[in-house]
Amino acid sequence: MRILLYLSSLLLLPVGVGMLVMTIALEDQPLVTASDEVSAASISRARDILRRNDPRRLAPNTTRDVRLAGSDLEALLNFAARRGIRGAASLDLRQGGADVRYTATLPRLLADLGVGRFVNVEASLGASGGSQIDIEQVRIGRIPLPGALFEALLAQYIRHTDLAPEVALLKRTISKVAITPADVTVTYVWQPELLDSARNLALSPADQQRLAAAQRLFVDTLGHAAPGSRKVALADVLGPLLQQASQQPGADRAQAYRDVLLVAALHLSGRNISVLIPDATRWPKPRPVTLTLRERGDLAQHFVISAAIAAQAGAPLAKAIGLDKEIDDAQRGSGFSFVDLAADRAGTRLGQLAARSPERLAAAVAAGLTDAALLPPIDGLPEHMMADEFRRRFGSPEAPAYRQMSDEIDRRIAALALFR
């Protein structure tokens, strides 16, 4: 009996310790509240950074600086936080360091059991001018951890994951990190392996196999839609694509929607999928054809690209990218267009359905899709406005005249049966 009691205590001790740690680590109130807002200005700055650091234009061993404003870096952290366990992050920069706060929201069931459902993490980081970022202190809930201990645990975790080679490559590539109260500057030495590393992180072998199947499906569907015609209505292609994706069971259905929307978006944007998967150069190619929405190729582009972004990354990012594109067009493109914006927002709604309500989308697709089902009437929506005309008529995206037109677009989209 003594032996049994001893063994039982050994088994129950970790459980008791785990419950104690959970009680101390989980809290009733979030340290950071989530915000879904993504500004068009931050999208524009990110685009400029990518243009200046386009890997296709960099020679090996080229040294470059990337400067990120604190607000943009915080937006990036929040985007990353939404990709796993839903959470929110905040960032305060200081001279030579930064304070990061993060809250992960756990299932409501824990609150019903009398246990807090928020994991609050606070970390103080320091940069001494070299390539190393030091973790000075960490607090998880009410549990303080020395920075050195947390770094050791993190190193052990990384060593036993697929991230180890990528982390080692980053350490060799980054030569300096400088932090000020305004921004973070990273100095790096470009290595071509970084691009392959990014591809491997973005797309696993299973992801690549799924996209290969989605590409074959897209090519076949496009081949059967209006044979011999150089123009095809978007609904005649998107409808069968989504119907095929609807055949996937349960949780796989939303992923199948994401895959076909991504493949279609790459085609409509003029990008070859080989930019993501080099082996895709051997995949079947779609026949040259223009997809149209309400008989316009540009609206099909806006719709599908926004749908793919919303399905992959969420509606706030898709909306911000759409608005940034129109503002950029007003400066030096074809002009600001509320018609394009309507296609962006309708596509965003479809992407939301694909990711969040795949069952609803499956039912709607089964009934058949038409161009009129995807995009509401566009009559009366101003377009082709250059910057001066846009400012004169609508001021800015925060002005009442703009808000009124924006609300009208939302009203028209909400009236579509697909989005009710």
12 alpha-carbon distance from chain centroid: 42
Mean pLDDT, range 175-179, rounded to an integer: 89
Band of residue 142 on the pLDDT scale cut at 50, 70, 90: confident
Lowest mean pLDDT among 80-89, 93-102, 229-238, 351-360: 80-89
90: phi then psi, degrees, rounded to nearest 5: -135, 155
Name the one residue in this structure whose structure tokens are 């973790």.
Answer: 135
Band of residue 217 on the pLDDT scale cut at 50, 70, 90: very high
Select from 282, 79, 283, 274 the least CA-distant residue to 195. Answer: 274
Mean pLDDT, range 286-297, rounded to an integer: 91
Q: What is the pLDDT of residues 398-409, one digit of tens each?
A: 899 999 999 999
Q: What is the pLDDT of residues 315-371, one digit of tens each?
A: 555 555 565 565 666 666 778 899 999 999 999 999 989 988 999 999 888 888 898
Does residue 87 register a pLDDT over 80?
no
DSSP 21-37: HHHHHEESS-SS-----
Q: What is the pLDDT of residues 196-211, one digit of tens each?
A: 776 666 677 888 889 9
Does residue 33 register a pLDDT over 60?
yes
| Alpha-helical regions (H) of 65-189 | 70-81, 109-112, 147-159, 164-173
Number of neighbouring beta carbons within 10 Å of residue 100: 19
Mean pLDDT, range 40-50, rounded to an integer: 66
142: phi then psi, degrees, rounded to nearest 5: -100, 15
Which residues make Cβ contacts (< 8 Å) with residue 396, sequence separation at least 6? 402
